[in-house]
Amino acid sequence: MLFDLKGKRKRLVQVVYVGLAILFGGGLVLFGVGGNVSGGLIDAFRGGNGGGSTTSAFDDVVNRANARAARNPDSPAVWAAVIRAQFNLASSPAGSDASTGALTERGQQAVVEVSQAWKRYERLKPKKVDPSAAAFAALAYGALQDYDKAVSIQESALKSRPSPNGYFQLADFAYRADQVEKGDAAAKEAVQRSPSDQRNTVRSLIKDLKKQGKQIAKAVAEAKKAQREQAKQGKDQPAGQSFGPLPGQGAAGTQPSP
């Protein structure tokens, strides 16, 4: 894992994101993007009952989306549906541990599937980027700890559908990617687009978010430096992809099983 967030820092991330969701009345990212999309990060906070029926429902949506993609591989809309289905599975009780917020093995698989579906979507060069698919893909790349990619995808989402919540999320990714100037610009935009009576609250949330992002950026940089040193010394690198929590869940990063 690249970093480990526990205790107060874990709680900080949860408070920031839940606070923002309440502030914006259940906006773009946290409750699920689009009116016909179930799941989302708030469902992951609640944890659900983890029952088989819930798991089966999410899997069924994923299976139907994948089947449509197999029949229509050149349709951007079809791949956008795959992205939404896989992300909602990752943020469901089946994909995220209710007690720690970490991705389960099924959630890790779903996050990887989101990133692969996004690559297929990008190659098709849609005339207009689907903002909900882009927002979910950005969050998935955040869980993969590829924050630079998350920044670029979130920017494409905002071009299609700007919102205070979306700029808040861009600020989060930018701070984690150590792109502080871009984070500050996005944060300023989030504040300006918020209702005037809520701007002080948004500023406070962003202050916490920036502090959190600085810690993560430092940890990521140190981990990458250690990996480079190991490579120079000819030491074997750990196998597998490193995962963090879905942004907003605030749990320890996990390493996938071989």
Give the pLDDT confidence of 40-60 residue by residue, as tens digits.
443 433 344 444 555 678 899
Q: Would you say residue 115 lies in a domain? A: yes
Q: Assign 3-state DSSP to the chain and report helix, strand, coil percentages, each to 5.
A: 65, 0, 35
Residue 64 banded pLDDT, cuts 50, 70, 90: very high
Which residue did the predictor score with more confidence, 9 or 210? 210
Residues 6+ apart with CB under 8 A from 230: 236, 237
Q: Say whether pLDDT at 88 is over 80.
A: yes
pLDDT higher than threshold 60 for residue 120: yes
Q: Which of 120, 96, 116 is nearest to 39 (CA)?
A: 96
- Over residues 188-223, the pLDDT tens digits come to 999 999 999 999 999 999 999 999 899 999 988 888
pLDDT at 228: 84
In a domain, 256, yes or no: no
Whether 125 maps to a domain, the answer reads yes
Question: Is residue 253 domain-resident?
Answer: no
Is 102 strand, coil or helix?
coil
CA torsion angle 238 239 245 250 (round to 10): -10
Token representation of residue 130: 């689907």
Interval 177-189 mean pLDDT: 97
User: Distance between CA 3 and CA 210 in Å, rounded?
Assistant: 16
Q: How many domains does the chain have?
A: 1
Domain presence at residue 49: yes
Q: How far apart are the two ends of the chain, measured CA to CA in Å?
A: 14
Q: What CATH number does residue 167 fall under?
A: 1.25.40.10
pLDDT > 70 in the chain, percent: 69
Q: Do 144 and 187 contact (CB within 8 A), yes or no?
A: no
Cα–Cα distance, 203 to 206 (Å, whole number):
5
DSSP three-state, residue 125: coil
Range of the domain at 182: 7-232
Helix (H, G, I), strand (E, B), or coil: what is residue 103? strand
pLDDT at position 77 over 70 = yes
247 in any annotated domain: no
- Residue 23 has a pLDDT of 46
pTM (2 decimals)? 0.76
Residue 257 lies inside a defined structural domain of this protein = no
